[in-house]
Structure 1
Amino acid sequence: MVRVGRAQGGAVEIEFTAEDMARTRFAVSPLWEVVASVRVLMETDDQGMHRQWCEQVRPLLAAAKLDLTPLARLITTPVESIPSFLVPPPTTPQPSLEVELATLRATPPELLRTSCPGAQEYAAELRSDPVRELGRLTELIAAYWEIAIAPYWPRMLALFEGDILHRAIHFAEGGARRLFDDFGPQLRWDSGTLQRVRRASRATQRLGGRGLLLVPSAFAWPQIFSNLGREDWQPTLRYPPRGIGALWKLSPQPCSDALAGVLGRTRARLLAELTAPASTTDLARRISLSAGGVSQHLTALRAAGLVSAHRTGRVVLYARTSVGEALVR
């Protein structure tokens, strides 16, 4: 199971050998973000970290009539754990969703289990016909991704990459202690062990030379999720990245004169306006241009790899690609 770390009570001491430090790495996981974001939609976001995203996505999911029941049945509320087979650790630094879904579809039937009482019945259904049921589940995840995550992925990925770079520099400057010193109160480094503070009593976890996989996650906030027990997987911690509070802030971006000189002012304005995914009609209203004119400019920007298009029901949402994000910054 992928479990939630809590900042009370005892601690799990994760022991590192020299080989473990050599194998410690970072990665991102599109599949994890899907599952964790469904968790956010199911729960009440009391502190409002993801409120803007929820308010944008919920009506789109409703319009697409996407039934999230199969995913929801695997996630208990309030969430204490997520079935580990649903979120295998990524094997490369930046796997595509398609690669991770292929791994999920290939899950052996004997691993389709969960200790969550509410999810055991559905896990049994998955085991009864894994090819069919896992196929349906991955199709649902792919459809949900296109609506709820893909338009925001370049922005999320930029946040993750910035966090990984920041921590890599810390590691180069001061080793493991420097790497882990700003993960927050749930993690602390002490004398060759990483201590994960939680409610449970004190315990020791040895990595066994596999190292530790660190995965920044937008939708993990404010918790740290761990999967340390499976011997056939690399031990994994999923944590909120630095700057998560600014992820969904949609403050208008200025239209750079330099960028306008290259793209033309209208296209530069459109790119600047895409702080969040938007439709042609919405963009036309914002910049006082006809929908047809906006469509022509978006087609050019898309051909240049600066924006991407994502259909949700009858509406097509446009979003900046990672290249577009970099140009605006």
Structure 2
Amino acid sequence: MLDQNNGRGAQSNPHNQFLKGEVEMDQEFYEHLHLNGETLKKKTAFQKIYPKTIVNKVTSPDLPFEYSMNPYQGCEHGCIYCYARNSHEYWGYSAGRDFESKILVKHQAAALLRKKLDSKSWKGQPIMLSGNTDCYQPIERKLEITRSLLQICLEYRNPVGIITKNAMVLRDLDILEQLAELNLVRVAISITSLNEKLRERLEPRTSTSGLRFNAVRRLSESGIPVMVMMAPVIPSINNQEIMKIAEKAAENGAGALSHTVVRLNGVIGQLFEQWLETHYPDRKEKVLNQIMELHGGQLNDSRFKTRMRGEGEHANQISKMFKLAIKKYKLDGKMEPLNRSLFRRASENQLNLF
């Protein structure tokens, strides 16, 4: 059940490599809480930050987009494997519990996007929401920053992509339908397991797989191009579900299926080992060894071209399984490129009124 970790993925707050010194609570205090059946129930904290830009240039050849924007830093979804955890250390926080309980919010995101799209250098390139943390994490229901960004994309006719693990994307169906009519949007729903017990442990504050597949169906029925991402595939944890997820994706109208394999860069390796020790101690060594087989004997892999798919026999087996699933369930939809020809700046919008 979730109560043992209060709905969090990470088991600890490991040392931040960028901080020279940290203050730790007295271990006796933790022991006192434990002996009395109590826990530290910390609520999620939200902090405003004021970046100079919201649109980031993406230079990775592994990703199918050149620009991304992230309304939030840190993510309350708490996915234990999340590669974005390491980025929280740059803000002075831990990649562990801090990443999912101390969320940095870009309240001025809409104004920053408008400024970017109005710049003379901008040519209407597609932007991905989000390249780092989930744009539909729980606080978005209240703040509606992602919704405001989509409204601006529609106003400027700027193409946009979305990847999320949250069915909250359906809240913005009205905007997405208008974008889709102009071929300006693509949505990817990330689904890692049909096993709810595993989902609660692996990514505790995400939508259930049932709600995510419902989102796939609703988006598809509304004419919005949608694909399913199985990201990541983790050996001996969820790799046996590839065919079942593919079948459900097809049943709910997904046009395509894709995947990445798990990679545990930086402190994420330590966090994941703790997670395995807590939830699956009997298979901990097997899982870690198989992950290392994917990445040349290491848990981490930052090499372009191989980090997302892995290498070696085990990686080949996973790739073959996906090819089989894609063929069997007709999930090889080749979507036409998003339309860049409709882009217009605010000044052009005003001229169109006369």
Give the TM-score band, short-chain normalised. Answer: under 0.3
Query: TM-score if structure 2 supplies the norm length?
Result: 0.21
